[in-house]
Amino acid sequence: MLKYDINKRILHMDAKLQVIGWLADTYKKDMFMRTITLLAILLLTAALPAAQLEIAEYYGARSAALSLTYDDGFRHQGAEHVKMMKPYGFKGTFFIVVGQTKDNKPPKEWGNRMSWELLREMHKDGHEIANHSWSHAALKKGVPQDTLDKEVNYAFDVFKQKMGFAPYSFAFPGGSRHKEVPGLAEARHPCVRGHVLTYGGNRWTTDKANAWIDESIAQGKWNVAMIHGIKGGWSHFRNPADFDAHLKYAKSKEDLLWVAPMADVHKYLAQKKAATLKGKVKKSGASFECYVNGLDADTYNVPLTVTIKNAKVKKVTAKAGSKKLPTYLRNGLVCVDVPVTGKPLKVEVSFK
Protein backbone atom coordinates (compact mmCIF):
# COMPACT_ATOMS: atom_id res chain seq x y z
CA MET A 1 0.00 0.00 0.00
CA LEU A 2 2.71 2.44 1.07
CA LYS A 3 4.95 1.49 -1.85
CA TYR A 4 2.07 2.05 -4.27
CA ASP A 5 1.40 5.50 -2.88
CA ILE A 6 5.00 6.64 -3.09
CA ASN A 7 5.28 5.47 -6.70
CA LYS A 8 2.15 7.33 -7.60
CA ARG A 9 3.35 10.51 -5.91
CA ILE A 10 6.55 10.41 -7.93
CA LEU A 11 4.73 9.69 -11.19
CA HIS A 12 2.51 12.68 -10.66
CA MET A 13 5.40 15.05 -10.19
CA ASP A 14 7.40 15.24 -13.42
CA ALA A 15 9.43 18.32 -12.51
CA LYS A 16 10.49 16.96 -9.17
CA LEU A 17 11.27 13.65 -10.84
CA GLN A 18 13.87 15.45 -12.98
CA VAL A 19 15.45 16.96 -9.89
CA ILE A 20 15.57 13.53 -8.31
CA GLY A 21 17.20 12.21 -11.49
CA TRP A 22 19.84 14.92 -11.37
CA LEU A 23 20.49 14.20 -7.70
CA ALA A 24 20.81 10.52 -8.49
CA ASP A 25 23.44 11.27 -11.16
CA THR A 26 25.41 13.40 -8.72
CA TYR A 27 25.13 10.60 -6.21
CA LYS A 28 26.83 8.21 -8.64
CA LYS A 29 29.66 10.61 -9.49
CA ASP A 30 30.82 11.90 -6.15
CA MET A 31 31.53 9.98 -2.99
CA PHE A 32 31.34 13.11 -0.85
CA MET A 33 27.96 14.10 -2.21
CA ARG A 34 26.39 10.73 -1.44
CA THR A 35 25.20 11.43 2.05
CA ILE A 36 23.90 14.87 1.12
CA THR A 37 22.06 13.74 -2.00
CA LEU A 38 20.60 10.77 -0.20
CA LEU A 39 19.22 13.11 2.44
CA ALA A 40 17.90 15.47 -0.23
CA ILE A 41 16.14 12.62 -2.08
CA LEU A 42 14.51 11.49 1.15
CA LEU A 43 13.39 15.01 2.06
CA LEU A 44 12.06 15.71 -1.41
CA THR A 45 10.13 12.44 -1.61
CA ALA A 46 8.58 13.11 1.78
CA ALA A 47 7.62 16.64 0.72
CA LEU A 48 5.77 15.54 -2.44
CA PRO A 49 2.05 16.06 -2.05
CA ALA A 50 -0.03 12.89 -2.38
CA ALA A 51 -2.57 12.53 -5.17
CA GLN A 52 -5.44 13.95 -3.16
CA LEU A 53 -8.45 13.15 -5.29
CA GLU A 54 -9.01 9.57 -6.39
CA ILE A 55 -11.65 6.99 -7.20
CA ALA A 56 -11.44 4.27 -4.54
CA GLU A 57 -10.36 0.78 -5.61
CA TYR A 58 -13.62 -0.61 -4.23
CA TYR A 59 -16.93 0.95 -3.27
CA GLY A 60 -16.91 2.63 0.12
CA ALA A 61 -13.12 3.12 0.03
CA ARG A 62 -12.63 -0.50 1.08
CA SER A 63 -9.43 -2.40 0.35
CA ALA A 64 -11.05 -5.63 -0.89
CA ALA A 65 -14.31 -7.27 -1.91
CA LEU A 66 -16.10 -10.53 -1.19
CA SER A 67 -18.99 -11.98 -3.20
CA LEU A 68 -21.06 -14.75 -1.64
CA THR A 69 -22.43 -16.85 -4.51
CA TYR A 70 -24.98 -19.64 -4.12
CA ASP A 71 -25.28 -22.30 -6.80
CA ASP A 72 -28.09 -24.28 -8.38
CA GLY A 73 -31.11 -22.31 -7.10
CA PHE A 74 -31.89 -24.73 -4.28
CA ARG A 75 -35.09 -24.02 -2.47
CA HIS A 76 -33.54 -23.72 0.99
CA GLN A 77 -31.17 -21.01 -0.26
CA GLY A 78 -34.08 -18.63 -0.72
CA ALA A 79 -35.01 -19.11 2.89
CA GLU A 80 -32.03 -20.10 5.02
CA HIS A 81 -29.15 -18.43 3.18
CA VAL A 82 -31.02 -15.17 2.74
CA LYS A 83 -32.05 -15.29 6.41
CA MET A 84 -28.47 -15.88 7.56
CA MET A 85 -27.12 -12.91 5.58
CA LYS A 86 -29.90 -10.54 6.64
CA PRO A 87 -28.65 -9.49 10.11
CA TYR A 88 -25.37 -8.43 8.48
CA GLY A 89 -27.01 -6.59 5.58
CA PHE A 90 -25.21 -8.80 3.02
CA LYS A 91 -26.65 -9.53 -0.43
CA GLY A 92 -25.66 -12.61 -2.41
CA THR A 93 -25.51 -13.82 -6.00
CA PHE A 94 -27.81 -16.75 -6.73
CA PHE A 95 -26.89 -18.78 -9.82
CA ILE A 96 -30.03 -20.61 -10.91
CA VAL A 97 -30.65 -23.53 -13.24
CA VAL A 98 -33.07 -21.76 -15.57
CA GLY A 99 -34.77 -24.85 -17.06
CA GLN A 100 -35.54 -26.24 -13.60
CA THR A 101 -37.12 -23.08 -12.22
CA LYS A 102 -40.92 -23.07 -11.92
CA ASP A 103 -43.29 -20.12 -11.87
CA ASN A 104 -45.11 -20.27 -8.59
CA LYS A 105 -44.70 -21.88 -5.24
CA PRO A 106 -46.73 -25.10 -5.43
CA PRO A 107 -44.73 -27.43 -3.22
CA LYS A 108 -45.32 -30.74 -5.01
CA GLU A 109 -44.24 -30.47 -8.64
CA TRP A 110 -41.95 -27.62 -7.78
CA GLY A 111 -39.11 -29.85 -6.53
CA ASN A 112 -36.25 -28.44 -4.56
CA ARG A 113 -35.64 -25.26 -6.59
CA MET A 114 -36.66 -21.68 -5.91
CA SER A 115 -39.54 -20.28 -7.99
CA TRP A 116 -39.45 -17.31 -10.38
CA GLU A 117 -41.84 -15.58 -8.01
CA LEU A 118 -39.43 -15.89 -5.09
CA LEU A 119 -36.42 -14.98 -7.25
CA ARG A 120 -38.12 -11.75 -8.36
CA GLU A 121 -38.72 -10.87 -4.70
CA MET A 122 -35.09 -11.60 -3.85
CA HIS A 123 -33.92 -9.39 -6.73
CA LYS A 124 -36.10 -6.55 -5.47
CA ASP A 125 -34.45 -7.00 -2.08
CA GLY A 126 -31.01 -6.38 -3.64
CA HIS A 127 -29.74 -9.91 -4.26
CA GLU A 128 -28.35 -10.77 -7.68
CA ILE A 129 -30.07 -13.56 -9.61
CA ALA A 130 -27.83 -14.97 -12.31
CA ASN A 131 -27.54 -17.61 -15.05
CA HIS A 132 -26.17 -21.08 -14.21
CA SER A 133 -27.22 -22.67 -17.56
CA TRP A 134 -30.42 -24.30 -18.78
CA SER A 135 -30.10 -27.81 -17.33
CA HIS A 136 -26.78 -27.88 -15.46
CA ALA A 137 -25.30 -30.15 -18.13
CA ALA A 138 -21.51 -30.47 -17.98
CA LEU A 139 -20.33 -28.54 -21.04
CA LYS A 140 -17.39 -30.75 -21.93
CA LYS A 141 -15.40 -31.27 -25.10
CA GLY A 142 -17.57 -32.82 -27.80
CA VAL A 143 -20.87 -31.27 -26.67
CA PRO A 144 -22.74 -30.26 -29.86
CA GLN A 145 -23.18 -26.61 -30.75
CA ASP A 146 -26.95 -26.59 -30.32
CA THR A 147 -26.58 -27.92 -26.76
CA LEU A 148 -24.08 -25.18 -25.93
CA ASP A 149 -26.43 -22.63 -27.44
CA LYS A 150 -29.37 -23.90 -25.41
CA GLU A 151 -27.42 -24.08 -22.13
CA VAL A 152 -26.08 -20.52 -22.43
CA ASN A 153 -28.27 -18.50 -24.81
CA TYR A 154 -31.69 -20.09 -24.47
CA ALA A 155 -31.24 -19.99 -20.70
CA PHE A 156 -30.37 -16.29 -21.05
CA ASP A 157 -33.53 -15.59 -23.08
CA VAL A 158 -35.92 -17.44 -20.75
CA PHE A 159 -34.26 -15.84 -17.69
CA LYS A 160 -34.76 -12.40 -19.25
CA GLN A 161 -38.37 -13.07 -20.05
CA LYS A 162 -39.16 -14.43 -16.56
CA MET A 163 -37.16 -11.92 -14.51
CA GLY A 164 -37.76 -8.85 -16.67
CA PHE A 165 -34.05 -8.08 -17.11
CA ALA A 166 -31.02 -9.80 -18.64
CA PRO A 167 -28.75 -11.81 -16.36
CA TYR A 168 -25.48 -9.93 -15.80
CA SER A 169 -23.45 -12.90 -14.55
CA PHE A 170 -22.94 -16.50 -15.69
CA ALA A 171 -21.38 -19.44 -13.83
CA PHE A 172 -20.38 -22.67 -15.53
CA PRO A 173 -22.10 -25.81 -14.31
CA GLY A 174 -19.64 -28.20 -12.59
CA GLY A 175 -17.06 -29.79 -14.87
CA SER A 176 -17.66 -27.48 -17.85
CA ARG A 177 -14.43 -27.18 -19.77
CA HIS A 178 -15.65 -26.78 -23.36
CA LYS A 179 -13.34 -24.27 -25.03
CA GLU A 180 -16.21 -22.39 -26.69
CA VAL A 181 -18.20 -21.81 -23.52
CA PRO A 182 -16.26 -18.84 -22.09
CA GLY A 183 -16.65 -16.92 -25.38
CA LEU A 184 -20.31 -17.84 -25.68
CA ALA A 185 -21.06 -16.81 -22.10
CA GLU A 186 -19.06 -13.58 -22.32
CA ALA A 187 -20.89 -12.52 -25.48
CA ARG A 188 -24.03 -11.88 -23.46
CA HIS A 189 -22.97 -11.83 -19.81
CA PRO A 190 -20.55 -9.05 -18.82
CA CYS A 191 -19.44 -11.07 -15.79
CA VAL A 192 -18.47 -14.75 -16.05
CA ARG A 193 -17.47 -16.38 -12.78
CA GLY A 194 -13.89 -17.62 -12.74
CA HIS A 195 -11.84 -18.73 -9.76
CA VAL A 196 -13.84 -19.43 -6.61
CA LEU A 197 -13.25 -20.40 -3.01
CA THR A 198 -15.45 -23.36 -2.15
CA TYR A 199 -17.35 -22.80 1.08
CA GLY A 200 -18.84 -25.77 2.96
CA GLY A 201 -17.81 -29.42 2.95
CA ASN A 202 -15.63 -31.28 5.40
CA ARG A 203 -12.44 -29.34 4.89
CA TRP A 204 -13.98 -25.87 5.24
CA THR A 205 -13.48 -24.11 8.56
CA THR A 206 -14.39 -20.64 9.83
CA ASP A 207 -10.73 -19.91 10.59
CA LYS A 208 -9.64 -20.77 7.06
CA ALA A 209 -12.37 -18.60 5.52
CA ASN A 210 -11.54 -15.73 7.89
CA ALA A 211 -7.91 -16.01 6.83
CA TRP A 212 -9.05 -15.71 3.17
CA ILE A 213 -10.71 -12.42 4.07
CA ASP A 214 -7.58 -11.14 5.81
CA GLU A 215 -5.46 -12.14 2.84
CA SER A 216 -7.78 -10.44 0.34
CA ILE A 217 -7.68 -7.25 2.42
CA ALA A 218 -3.88 -7.34 2.57
CA GLN A 219 -3.64 -7.91 -1.19
CA GLY A 220 -6.54 -5.68 -2.33
CA LYS A 221 -8.31 -8.64 -3.94
CA TRP A 222 -11.87 -9.58 -4.87
CA ASN A 223 -12.69 -13.03 -3.51
CA VAL A 224 -15.65 -15.05 -4.76
CA ALA A 225 -17.07 -17.75 -2.50
CA MET A 226 -19.09 -20.64 -3.98
CA ILE A 227 -21.73 -22.03 -1.62
CA HIS A 228 -24.24 -24.84 -2.06
CA GLY A 229 -26.07 -26.20 0.98
CA ILE A 230 -26.30 -25.01 4.54
CA LYS A 231 -27.71 -28.00 6.41
CA GLY A 232 -27.95 -30.50 3.58
CA GLY A 233 -27.16 -31.04 -0.08
CA TRP A 234 -23.82 -31.05 -1.88
CA SER A 235 -20.84 -29.68 0.07
CA HIS A 236 -22.96 -28.31 2.90
CA PHE A 237 -21.51 -26.78 6.05
CA ARG A 238 -20.76 -29.24 8.85
CA ASN A 239 -22.42 -26.79 11.18
CA PRO A 240 -24.43 -23.72 10.04
CA ALA A 241 -23.07 -21.82 13.07
CA ASP A 242 -19.58 -21.99 11.47
CA PHE A 243 -20.88 -20.09 8.44
CA ASP A 244 -22.64 -17.59 10.67
CA ALA A 245 -19.37 -17.01 12.58
CA HIS A 246 -17.65 -16.29 9.27
CA LEU A 247 -20.35 -13.82 8.20
CA LYS A 248 -19.96 -12.11 11.56
CA TYR A 249 -16.21 -11.86 10.99
CA ALA A 250 -16.78 -10.40 7.51
CA LYS A 251 -19.12 -7.82 9.05
CA SER A 252 -16.50 -6.86 11.64
CA LYS A 253 -14.19 -5.94 8.72
CA GLU A 254 -16.72 -3.78 6.93
CA ASP A 255 -14.50 -0.70 6.85
CA LEU A 256 -12.01 -2.69 4.78
CA LEU A 257 -14.13 -5.31 3.02
CA TRP A 258 -17.00 -4.73 0.60
CA VAL A 259 -19.41 -7.67 0.68
CA ALA A 260 -21.57 -7.44 -2.44
CA PRO A 261 -23.05 -9.47 -5.31
CA MET A 262 -20.71 -10.26 -8.21
CA ALA A 263 -22.57 -7.92 -10.57
CA ASP A 264 -22.08 -4.94 -8.24
CA VAL A 265 -18.35 -5.50 -7.83
CA HIS A 266 -17.86 -6.20 -11.54
CA LYS A 267 -19.80 -3.07 -12.50
CA TYR A 268 -17.87 -0.91 -10.03
CA LEU A 269 -14.52 -2.09 -11.43
CA ALA A 270 -15.68 -1.55 -15.04
CA GLN A 271 -16.96 1.93 -14.18
CA LYS A 272 -13.75 2.85 -12.38
CA LYS A 273 -11.76 1.80 -15.44
CA ALA A 274 -13.94 3.94 -17.74
CA ALA A 275 -14.18 6.93 -15.39
CA THR A 276 -12.58 10.34 -15.65
CA LEU A 277 -12.09 12.41 -12.51
CA LYS A 278 -10.85 15.98 -12.60
CA GLY A 279 -10.90 18.54 -9.87
CA LYS A 280 -9.28 20.58 -7.15
CA VAL A 281 -8.91 20.14 -3.44
CA LYS A 282 -8.84 23.24 -1.26
CA LYS A 283 -8.66 23.79 2.47
CA SER A 284 -12.39 24.36 2.72
CA GLY A 285 -13.47 21.54 0.42
CA ALA A 286 -13.16 20.25 -3.09
CA SER A 287 -14.80 20.60 -6.46
CA PHE A 288 -14.57 17.92 -9.07
CA GLU A 289 -16.16 16.48 -12.17
CA CYS A 290 -16.65 12.76 -12.59
CA TYR A 291 -18.00 10.81 -15.54
CA VAL A 292 -17.98 7.33 -16.98
CA ASN A 293 -17.46 6.95 -20.71
CA GLY A 294 -19.13 4.38 -22.95
CA LEU A 295 -21.09 2.35 -20.40
CA ASP A 296 -24.87 2.13 -20.35
CA ALA A 297 -25.99 4.16 -17.32
CA ASP A 298 -29.08 1.97 -16.81
CA THR A 299 -26.92 -1.10 -16.21
CA TYR A 300 -23.82 0.47 -14.73
CA ASN A 301 -25.47 2.09 -11.77
CA VAL A 302 -23.21 1.42 -8.79
CA PRO A 303 -22.07 4.73 -7.25
CA LEU A 304 -18.35 5.44 -7.50
CA THR A 305 -16.60 6.39 -4.29
CA VAL A 306 -14.42 9.45 -4.74
CA THR A 307 -11.89 9.87 -1.92
CA ILE A 308 -10.11 13.00 -0.74
CA LYS A 309 -7.00 12.71 1.41
CA ASN A 310 -7.57 14.95 4.38
CA ALA A 311 -7.39 13.30 7.77
CA LYS A 312 -8.23 16.54 9.59
CA VAL A 313 -11.77 16.89 8.28
CA LYS A 314 -14.38 16.12 10.91
CA LYS A 315 -17.55 16.79 8.92
CA VAL A 316 -18.31 16.83 5.24
CA THR A 317 -21.20 17.52 2.88
CA ALA A 318 -21.40 17.17 -0.90
CA LYS A 319 -23.78 18.31 -3.61
CA ALA A 320 -24.27 17.71 -7.30
CA GLY A 321 -26.44 20.65 -8.36
CA SER A 322 -29.17 20.71 -5.73
CA LYS A 323 -28.86 16.99 -4.99
CA LYS A 324 -27.15 16.00 -1.76
CA LEU A 325 -24.68 13.13 -2.14
CA PRO A 326 -23.81 10.53 0.53
CA THR A 327 -20.57 11.40 2.35
CA TYR A 328 -18.62 9.73 5.13
CA LEU A 329 -15.17 9.50 6.69
CA ARG A 330 -13.38 6.17 6.43
CA ASN A 331 -9.79 4.96 6.79
CA GLY A 332 -8.53 8.55 7.08
CA LEU A 333 -10.26 9.56 3.85
CA VAL A 334 -13.14 11.85 3.04
CA CYS A 335 -15.52 9.80 0.88
CA VAL A 336 -18.25 10.91 -1.53
CA ASP A 337 -20.49 8.39 -3.33
CA VAL A 338 -21.06 9.74 -6.83
CA PRO A 339 -23.89 8.40 -8.98
CA VAL A 340 -22.96 7.30 -12.51
CA THR A 341 -24.82 9.44 -15.01
CA GLY A 342 -22.94 9.00 -18.29
CA LYS A 343 -22.67 12.79 -18.48
CA PRO A 344 -20.08 14.83 -16.58
CA LEU A 345 -21.36 15.45 -13.07
CA LYS A 346 -20.11 18.49 -11.16
CA VAL A 347 -19.69 17.89 -7.44
CA GLU A 348 -19.01 20.44 -4.72
CA VAL A 349 -17.65 19.19 -1.41
CA SER A 350 -17.45 21.31 1.76
CA PHE A 351 -15.39 20.45 4.82
CA LYS A 352 -16.46 21.59 8.25
- CA 196 to CA 224: how far, in whole Å? 5
- CB neighbour class for 63 (10 Å; exposed up to 12, middle 13-18, buried from 19): buried
151 interacts with Zn ion by CB under 5 A: no
285-292 vs 304-309, strand pairing mode: unpaired
Closest CA to 69 of 261, 238, 217, 235: 261
Shortest Cβ 172–Zn ion spacing (Å): 8
What Å distances lie between residue 260 and 69, 109, 254, 265, 268, CA to CA? Answer: 10, 33, 11, 7, 11
3-class secondary structure, 68: strand
Rounded to a whole number of angstroms, the minimum distance from the CB of residue 280 to Zn ion is 50
| Run of H or E including 41 | helix 33-47
CB nearer Zn ion, residue 61 or residue 226? 226
* Distance of closest approach, residue 323 Cβ to Zn ion, in angstroms: 42
DSSP string, 172-212: PPTT---TTHHHHHHHH-SEE--S-EEPSSTT--HHHHHHH
Classify 57 as helix, strand or coil: coil
Nearer to Zn ion by C-beta: 173 or 285?
Answer: 173
Q: Output 70 or 90, the one with its CB closest to Zn ion.
A: 70
d(CA 34, CA 51): 29
Binding footprint of Zn ion, residue count (CB under 5 A)? 2
CB of 69 to Zn ion, least distance (A): 10
Q: Least distance to Zn ion from the beta carbon of 95, Å?
A: 7
What residue number has its CB nearest to Zn ion? 71
CB of 174 to Zn ion, least distance (A): 5
Residue 130 Cβ vs Zn ion, minimum distance, rounded to whole Å: 12
CB of 226 to Zn ion, least distance (A): 9
Residue 97 or 213: the one with the smaller Cβ distance to Zn ion is: 97
| Calpha distance 69→276 (Å, rounded) | 31
Angle, to 10 degrees, between the axis of helix 155-163 and the axis of helix 116-124? 70
Closer residue to Zn ion in complex, CB, 147/317: 147
Subset of residues 184 to 243 that bind Zn ion, contact rule: CB under 5 A = none
Nearer to Zn ion, 71 or 128 (CB): 71
When the beta carbons of 77 and 307 are compared against Zn ion, the nearer one is: 77
Contact call for residues 224 and 196 (beta carbons, < 8 A): yes
Taking the C-alpha atoms of residue 143 and residue 93, their distance in angstroms, rounded to an integer, is: 27
CA distance linking residue 178 with residue 104, whole number of Å: 34
CB of 231 to Zn ion, least distance (A): 18
β-pairing, 169-170 with 191-192? parallel
Site string for Zn ion, 46-85 (x = CB under 5 A): -------------------------xx-------------
Work out how close the CB of 93 gets to Zn ion at its nearest, in angstroms, rounded to a whole number: 13
3-state secondary structure of 303: coil
Helix, coil or strand: residue 63: coil
Name which of 40 and 137 has its Cβ closer to Zn ion: 137
Nearer to Zn ion, 233 or 339 (CB): 233
Which of 71, 151 has the CB closer to Zn ion?
71
Binding site for Zn ion (CB under 5 A): 71-72
